[in-house]
Amino acid sequence: MGLSLTEKSFLYDSLTLDPPLRPDGRGPHQFRPLEVSTDFLPNSNGSSRVILSGGSECIVSVKTKVVDHTVEQELLVADVDIQGHRDDSPLVTSMSSLLSKLLKQTIDQKKLMLTKRYSFKLYIDVLVLASKSYPISMISFAIFSALKNTWLPKLISNDDDLEVEELPTFHDYDMVKLEADAPLLFTFAIVGDGVFVDPTFEESIVSNNGLLITWYKDKVTSPIRSVGLNNDNIKGFSQHHLEQAFKLIRQYAPHIEKALDASD
Amino acid sequence: MSVQDRRRILGPAEAKPLQFAAITPVRTVENRDDGNGNKSGKESVFISTDLVTNANGSSYLEYMDGTSDQVLVMSSVFGPRPLRGSFQSKASVSIQFKEVTLEHLNTGEIKEICTFLTNVFNAVINVEKYPKSGIDIFIDLIQHSNSNPTEEANIVNILPTCINSITMALVDAGIEIIDLVSAGSKDNSVVAFIRNGHEIVGIWSDDDNVTDISKLIEECKAKYLVNKQTLVQYLK
Amino acid sequence: MHRYKMKPFKNFPQTVIPGDLICPIFDVDDDNKQEVVIRFLTGTGCKQENFRVNGKNVDIIVATLKGSVSVEEVPADIIEDDDQEDSENTTFVESHETTGGDASSGNSRVIKSFKVSVSNPSKFASKYVDDQFVNNLPQEGDIVLARVTRISLQRITVEILAVENSPLPIDSGVGSNGTGIIAAAGGSGASTFSVSQVSADLGETFRGIIRSQDVRATDRDRVKVMESFKPGDIIRAQVLSLGDGTHYYLTTARNDLGVVFAKSSNGAGEQMYAIDWQTMISPKTGVAEKRKCAKPF
């Protein structure tokens, strides 16, 4: 689906007004209303579902398995699947690579350690059911709330197995909450002089460029990227845009983190 | 002896053995990094253009910083050539990155680099000029000394050279670009600029601790200006 | 290098690289008492870009290619009356009048237009074909040379080989610039090498369509495609529009457009020559075939 030239020009003009006018009446810092539900997949250790007002929807499931970490060093596997995009499309592969690299860096692997030999391995599967705009922000929110609500079996055997080949045993029904913090990713659309958080599909089409900024543990962290939200309107941006995006994120990201955390 | 040798694919009758001319550097531009003193040696860049004969434009860049880091990159530009499918009023730019010798990066990272570079060059190529056309840019990373097999390849080290190389190939091909793109890096961040650093066309940061974005940009800009000067020197 | 002696041209750069500023879109020359407003238009190799200088937006023509700058005066009557250009023009004149109100000759101001372009002197000198095709994609109104690939009752499909007065690119889909190739039959590749033979197989040329109504200017409803073109003919046509995703729309409805080269017996025979606008004959066999021929002179 595309927009006509007239529609694009109308949108661009209203976004570059002073003050800017977004098609849904939001302020530059406002997110679309979103609905988060967690723990709805009975077969997963943790799950969440995020629905944005535009109809974009994403589900995340966290599953786990006990592995010998002396053999298998990779304790985190993230996989992204976006409806309507091939698995080898640039969007899916680059997003999936970015997310798995990021999660490996940020999630404390010591928390997954069971004994000196065994660890939990986490499988994070992301399925984007419907998305028109750049979905990475929504995915990171879903991963965040899924990891906040992930319960792992409680270990009842000794946690020091002296590196012998003895499988850890777990309690029959008691679970322990995995207290893992996941990073939040924010997308910004740059239109004219303005910077807008959480751009819709229409806003992405007319944007001059896009920014992807990560927020983790109360600070801005890597990756920071410029991302093209479309292919034919790309232009350079200025330092001022970046500063503005940083200001917005520092001001509002803590609130968003808090809101997501409370949504059990 | 009368039996014809069927196992070998024989060359054409008048095939000649390959002969390589003695390599003479076209021009070497050396820039001493006098920004911060943490790099002791001399940075040098070797630029050569127009070496792929069937491409519309091509370039080869060697970047050496004074220490051990060395990046060799070659890019070639094909097109504009016709696109099939629905009508496009602007050119569609595609950039393919490839490691031709040792492979250190995984597919996902390579796709990330391609997407990033495509976005950078979408901002500078005059795409309105080429309706119904595709411009294909192929970039080959020939060597990256920092990437010894045990160490993780550092994308940030190779990106500025890739960007410079594509810019030179585009100029060589005569594809219209609104300005020479070049990039500067600092620690774990790369920022690509145009217009003497007044405009940013791409930012890639793997730095976990970005506290002052303005300072980071200033530092990258200083490197950008040096890099851009090198390109200008070669072209003029 | 410029023939124009006016003041604004004194500051013009001779050679440029992409990103170099050439000139603002308007300039004023007041050498001979009379004020002349000079309006610069963009030709190939440059683009009008907006810069912000001291908080003000200024439109400047920047170079987008490496090469030398040339300026050409555009006679006032052939400037296309583009709405946008027109409005820009008027706003400029108005604002100029308000600021410089003391100028006595407000009404007799002359506006001259110049086209600025950057061209790249061939990088291969005369040895190879110039590669400027990259900046000369077929545009509306251009004359192109094309080869007929397929005909049907309604339309003729062609592949565009070259835009008239502009050379081919290095990689015009033939995967080579045609030199140094060892041809299958031996000998130098350049002599036996034919662009038109190779390119279609690779699917790398721009394609065009001529509808049967666009074949000739008169009696256009009764055109018989079979009696106008045959596959393999080299034709001269004009671009009507950019067309759809895959094809340009072309026309040969002009005296100087139509078949320029054709071989008899569906390409099996020898080259034929036009004797009138709808007949070509082969000089050896004397066989005549029907074609819509281009008037050669």
d(CA A127, CA C120): 51
- Looking at the fold, whether C145 and C284 belong to one and the same domain comes out as yes
Question: Could you tell me which residue, C137 or A253, shows the higher pLDDT?
Answer: A253
Percent above pLDDT 70 for chain A: 97
Query: For residue C156, what are the β-bridge partners?
Result: C151, C210
| Residues C50 and C118 placed together within one structural domain of the fold | yes
Tokens 């020559």, located at residue: C273
What is the CATH number for C264?
2.40.50.140
At C238, list the tokens: 């004009």
Whichever domain contains B197, its CATH number is 3.30.230.70
Given pLDDT bands bounded at 50, 70 and 90, which one contains residue A112?
A: confident
Per the structure, the complete domain to which residue C282 belongs is given by 138-174+201-290
B201: containing domain: 41-235
Structural domain count, chain C = 2
What distance in Å separates the CA atoms of residue B159 and residue B163, rounded to the nearest whole number? Answer: 6
Rounded to two decimals, the ipTM of the complex is 0.89
Selected for mutation to probe chain C from B51, B128, B171, B196 (highest C CB count within 10 Å) is B171
CB-CB contact of B101 with A243 (8 Å): no
Q: Is the residue at C193 inside a domain?
A: no
State whether C23 and C68 are in the same domain. Answer: yes
CB atoms B115 and A98 under 8 Å: no
- Do C265 and C121 belong to one domain? no
- The DSSP string of A43-91 is TSSEEEEEEETTS-EEEEEEEEEEEETTT----EEEEEEETTS-TTSHH
C232 domain-assigned: yes
Q: pLDDT band at residue B146, thresholds of 50, 70 and 90? A: low
Say yes or no to pLDDT of C177 above 70: no
Please state, in angstroms and rounded to a whole number, the distance separating the CA atoms of residues C248 and B83. Answer: 12
Distance between CA B4 and CA B146 in Å, rounded? 50
Peptide bond before residue A223 is cis, with ω within 30 degrees of 0: yes
Residue C163 maps to a domain:
yes
CB burial readout C277-292, b (16+ within 10 A) else e: ebebebeeeeeebebb
Q: Are A78 and A105 in contact (CB under 8 A)?
A: no
The answer to whether the CB of A189 falls within 8 A of the CB of A195 is yes
CATH (domain of C26):
2.40.50.880
Instruction: Please report, for chain A, the start and end positions of each structural domain, with discontinuous segments joined by +.
Output: 1-30+183-263, 34-165
Summarize the confidence of residues A199-221 as an average pLDDT.
90
* Domain count within chain B: 1
Instruction: Write out the DSSP string of B27-91.
Output: -EEEE---SSTT--S-EEEEEEE---TTSSEEEEEEEE-SSS-EEEEEEEEEEEEEPPSS--SS-
Topology of domain A34-165, CATH? Ribosomal Protein S5; domain 2 (3.30.230)
A1-30+183-263 placed in CATH 3.30.230.70: yes
- How many other CB atoms sit within 10 Å of the CB of residue A25? 7
In degrees, rounded to 5, the angle at the alpha carbon of residue A12 between the alpha carbons of residues A202 and C52 is 140
Q: Which of residues 170-199 of B touch A (CB under 8 A)?
A: 188-189, 193-195, 198-199
> Distance between CA atoms of B210 and B35, rounded to whole angstroms?
20
Check C64 against B178: CB less than 8 A apart: yes
For residues B121-137, average pLDDT: 89
CA–CA dist A112, A121 (Å, integer): 7
C152 and C259 in a single domain? The answer is yes
Facing residue for B115 by CB, picked from A90, A222, A241: A90
Residue B19 falls within a domain, yes or no? no
Q: Is residue B36 part of a domain?
A: no
Confidence band of C74 (pLDDT split at 50, 70, 90): confident
Q: Does C268 touch chain B (CB under 8 A)?
A: no
E strand or H helix at B166, and its extent?
A: helix B155-173
Query: Would the pTM count as exceeding 0.90?
Result: no
Shared domain check, C156 and C65? no
Residues A128-185: tens digit of each pLDDT: 999 888 899 999 999 999 998 899 888 888 777 676 667 788 888 888 888 788 899 9
Q: Which of C135, C137, C175 is the closest to B174 by Cβ?
A: C135
Chains touching C (at least 3 CB pairs under 8 A) are: B
Last residue of a domain, one of C128, C155, C190: C128
| pLDDT band at residue C192 under the 50/70/90 scheme | very low
Are the CB atoms for B160 and B168 separated by under 8 Å?
no
Instruction: Nearest by CB to C134, from B88, B175, B195: name it.
Output: B175
Establish if B95 belongs to a structural domain: yes
- Check whether residue C121 and residue C254 sit in a common domain: no
Whether residue C120 lies within 8 A of chain B, CB to CB, comes out as yes
Question: Which tokens in the block code for residue C125?
Answer: 């000198």
Which chains have at least 3 CB atom pairs separated by less than 8 Å from chain B? A, C
Longest alpha-carbon distance in chain A: 71
Q: For residues A25 and A10, what is the distance between their CA atoms, to the nearest angstrom?
A: 15
What pLDDT score was predicted for residue C84?
43
Indicate the average pLDDT of chain A.
Answer: 88
